[in-house]
Structure 1
């Protein structure tokens, strides 16, 4: 075999190995594991600032391999924010079904919102950071507003039942309380020796309902 044929054979083998490697990397991903990579990149770069090339580079696969799993980055965004929205709405559905105790309902709403935020931190972070520049983002914002309205309704009903102080507008109180809950995404980072979801949820709940002043 002459040198030219040897080089040609080597190129074919290299190409085959590259294709096999790409197929293997693609096979290691599921829609959920690919979503995890995408949400991390969205939160680091911003959804608008993330290209399909960025996602492919972060995943270590080609763009065509990503399209093997999803239609595009908008589908990944929708799946990401829906994971947060589904968890929050399921929690609210459970609270709505409670038979009585409007104040308990509000307290549980705060506690569970923090738990979900910590447990689903990347996905809630993504939900809170969407800008509304695409149809998928605007749909996510509308769903988030609906959740905010449900939470505000809990506070308003507790106020109407006489369970809350009367010198605060319930809508303002709701914005302040759940604004504090949402701010957890800016500083909380999970890891060994860190506070658990229950630790953070309990602390926020106690601050909201008991305050910091020593009794």
Structure 2
């Protein structure tokens, strides 16, 4: 049995380990013993930093949620026509997913079995609804095709974005996708088919 190392962890580095283990084993399948082994420190050392694994989960998903909601406060998400704002939010959502990949992956995998998971899912739905409202506004402006169901378009848009967590790997980890190019590709694929002809012409 390996003797746990002296605790040199900070709350941030401990969180990094916890997120990795949660993503590998699933939150329900992770015990404090698993976290202790992965961190190489004793369980009592972990409790020195946090009250338990649910606090680690809360911190992890909060980081992803805060980053997503911060997008909605940026000028590009608040100013201009709705179609321009929703394209901006889509692009930035992909960028945040890439920048916070482990945390967003965990957020998308929570199942609602704990208070923290239910809170995270509610916040996710709130963010999705804000984006859906932008799509509705763009449709009302005549910038989205009238023959496309907005609810379906919203689901397909988020399906495409959220699927990135299953296959995207940064170039530093051997992936071949440039993050900026990927974000632009998602926007062009999604809105190339959704924009009306005049809105597409305005985009240039």
TM-score (norm 1): 0.84
Write the distance in 1 (CA, Å) between the matches of 2:76 and 2:171: 33
**Corresponding residue to 2:111 among 117, 131, 147:** 131
The higher radius of gyration belongs to 1
> Judging changes above 3 Å, is the alpha-carbon distance between structure 1 residues 97 and 116 closer, same or farther for their aligned structure 2 residues?
closer
> Once superposed, what is the RMSD of the aligned Cα atoms?
1.5
- How big is the shift at 1:94? 1.7
Write the distance in 2 (CA, Å) between the matches of 1:57 and 1:196: 34
Contact 2:139/2:146, CA 8 A, preserved across alignment:
yes
> Judging changes above 3 Å, is the alpha-carbon distance between structure 1 residues 180 and 88 closer, same or farther for their aligned structure 2 residues?
same
Structure 1 residue aligned with 2:54: 74
Write the distance in 1 (CA, Å) between the matches of 2:77 and 2:191: 22
Write the distance in 2 (CA, Å) between the matches of 1:204 and 1:135: 33
Provide the aligned length of Structure 1 versus Structure 2.
Answer: 189
- How big is the shift at 1:102? 1.0
**Corresponding residue to 2:186 among 193, 199, 204:** 204
Write the distance in 2 (CA, Å) between the matches of 1:59 and 1:124: 21
Structure 1 residue aligned with 2:15: 35
Write the distance in 1 (CA, Å) between the matches of 2:191 and 2:80: 19
Q: Which runs of 5+ in 2 are unaligned?
A: 194-204
TM-score (norm 2): 0.88
**Corresponding residue to 1:166 among 127, 143, 146:** 146
Q: Which runs of 5+ in 1 are unaligned?
A: 1-17
